[in-house]
Structure 1
Amino acid sequence: MTDSALPPPTVRDVVGALDARYPRAWAEQWDRVGLVLGEFDTPVRTVLCVVDCVPETVEEAVEAGASLIVAHHPLLLKGVSSVAPDTYKGRIVHRLIKADIALYVAHTNADVANPGVSDALAARLDLVGLRPLVPAEPGSPAAGEGRGVGRVGELAAPMPLAELTAFVARRLPATAAGVRAAGDPQRLIRTLAVCGGAGDSFLNDAGRAGADAYLCADLRHHPASEHLATGGPALLDAAHWATERPWLDELAGWLRAQFPVTSLVSDLDTDPWTVHAVSGK
């Protein structure tokens, strides 16, 4: 709840706190994080936390009276030569500016944070004894204090892969894609590695970490097949949005604890896949 007795923070105040929690130096060099647009001196009374800044989540922010969107995925990741209103991203930029809504992005810098995106995913699955799947490289800006990509932890109780897949599907936000698994359905899973978002570049790391199974998004046919053929952990593949959506709850709670603001979370499913049918049925 917002404490009306306290003055609202400004965009500058909230950006400063977010930058301190998720330093921009922790982001990958190719990433684009931080404040994208907005007036620094605008008061912030309502914040909307989203995975994707798309027209639908922007309208959610407008309807909620938000003056700041905190998004996980960058709106302007690749260079553009125009934000004209007849372009997709240009329309979003113009709508935000006209509605006086600032936009802030925390992406790979939030992925490696502790707590970060994968911690929230692990918490949804009640994992304990967490450690980074890929610790931040020594000497890098994010090194130390348990930071790094992904998390590895122990399940509250071991379960077969088939049962674990159903458990994950129940615990994650619902999407048309659901959750699929690769490996022996009866394989007993005790140690689970997780990574919010695309994670097939860390398949070998899951094996080295001693995981019995690895959960992430956007797994591809050939890397997954070759991974299993060489004795790697079982795999669980969920929708990209579903693996990152849990972080929004943690983020919103932290914002409410830092500032007298109303911090909302978008439950709009922005996964592009909207229909799922089982082949042959």
Structure 2
Amino acid sequence: MPVPLAELLATIDRLWPLSGAEGWDAPGLVTGDPAAPVERVHFAVDAVGATVDEAIEQGADLLIAHHPLLLRGVTSVAEDRYKGAIIARLIRADCALVAAHTNADVVEDGTSAVLAEAIGLTDASPIVPSATHGHGLGRVGRLAESTTLGRLARTLADLLPPTATGVRVAGGYDDPIQTVAVCGGAGDSLLADPAVRGADVYITADLRHHPASEAREQAAVAGGPALIDVSHWASEWLWLDRAASQLRAAHPDLEVVVSDLRTDPWDFQVVQ
């Protein structure tokens, strides 16, 4: 039985409340008629040409993307610009688009929580708690058994889908690791947080030169974590299966599919 899009939007807001989104974010319905029926839902990290084409080719009525297509303001949706072309393709195919971004990061089963669970963290709690118990940015917890930085990096490389940039590490290969902080997606804004500073390693994505260098220099003076930098897309892709399972549980009649297309922007790397 088809489900009205409006009913799905209510479920999405229950699972990943819009009230939990950061003020700068733009989650929610991007395009689509709330009265339209939905039978097939497609999940992807990014609403880009490849995932939109895949959703349409597979007959999806709704594409749920983690990253908002219209995060920053645009003044035109002309079809000679990629955002306009994507929106036009979705509208012509009667496929709605919804973004679940920072509102999906902060919930108990959000992007960082899923990553923390995948690497085996116990008693994980938010790095930056929100007003709702168990909600907040990032996660910090302990491994059931200590490991080394090199072995943990290898575990991540095996766990995450492969990308050109792989797994980058700052720290000694044999450094002991027990307490781990993680933040799916770009997490350099949390480098100075006490919970991160108190961890043995911080796992996140999109670490830039200066924040990473300064964090390591500070660690040499006053202690601080080793750093593991992974693909932004890969760090959040793991969440899609959890999100799809939650939506299936709420609406058993829906067909829910997770895209395995790699939308990390990098194609290859030359190692020196």
2:192 matched residue in structure 1? 204
Distance, in Å, in 2 between the alignment partners of 1:125 and 1:173 is: 14
Alignment of structure 1 residues 96-245 onto 2, 5 Å = 96-136=90-130, 143-205=131-193, 207=195, 210-231=198-219, 232-245=224-237
Which of 61, 64, 73 is matched with 1:79 structurally?
73
Distance, in Å, in 2 between the alignment partners of 1:62 and 1:29 is: 31
Distance, in Å, in 2 between the alignment partners of 1:189 and 1:263 is: 38
Distance, in Å, in 1 between the alignment partners of 2:52 and 2:188 is: 30
CA contact (8 A) 2:106 2:137 kept: yes
Instruction: Name the SS for the 1:158 alignment partner.
Output: strand
Partner amino acid, structure 1, of 2:64: V
Which of 261, 275, 278 is matched with 2:268 structurally?
275
Distance, in Å, in 2 between the alignment partners of 1:258 and 1:77 is: 28
Instruction: Give, in angstroms, the shift of residue 155 of structure 1.
Output: 1.7
Q: Could you state the TM-score of these two structures normalised by the residue count of structure 2?
A: 0.95
Shift in CA distance, 277/208, structure 1 to aligned 2, threshold 3 Å: closer
1:69 is the counterpart of 2:57: no
Instruction: Name the SS for the 2:127 alignment partner.
Output: strand
| Partner deviation per Cα, 1:227-251 (whole Å, 9 max, x = no partner) | 1111120000000000000110100
Instruction: Give, in angstroms, the shift of residue 209 of structure 1.
Output: 6.0
Give 5+ residue unaligned stretches, structure 1. Answer: 1-6, 137-142
Alignment of structure 1 residues 249-268 onto 2, 5 Å = 249-259=241-251, 260-268=253-261
Partner amino acid, structure 2, of 1:234: A
Runs of 4+ more than 2 Å apart: 206-210
1:139 matched residue in structure 2? none
Distance, in Å, in 2 between the alignment partners of 1:250 and 1:85 is: 34
CA contact (8 A) 1:152 1:209 kept: no
Partner amino acid, structure 2, of 1:265: V
How many residues get paired?
Answer: 267
Instruction: Give, in angstroms, the shift of residue 109 of structure 1.
Output: 1.0
Shift in CA distance, 190/264, structure 1 to aligned 2, threshold 3 Å: same
| Partner deviation per Cα, 1:36-84 (whole Å, 9 max, x = no partner) | 1101122111111110000100011012111001111010111111111
Q: Could you state the TM-score of these two structures normalised by the residue count of structure 1?
A: 0.92
Distance, in Å, in 2 between the alignment partners of 1:197 and 1:206 is: 19
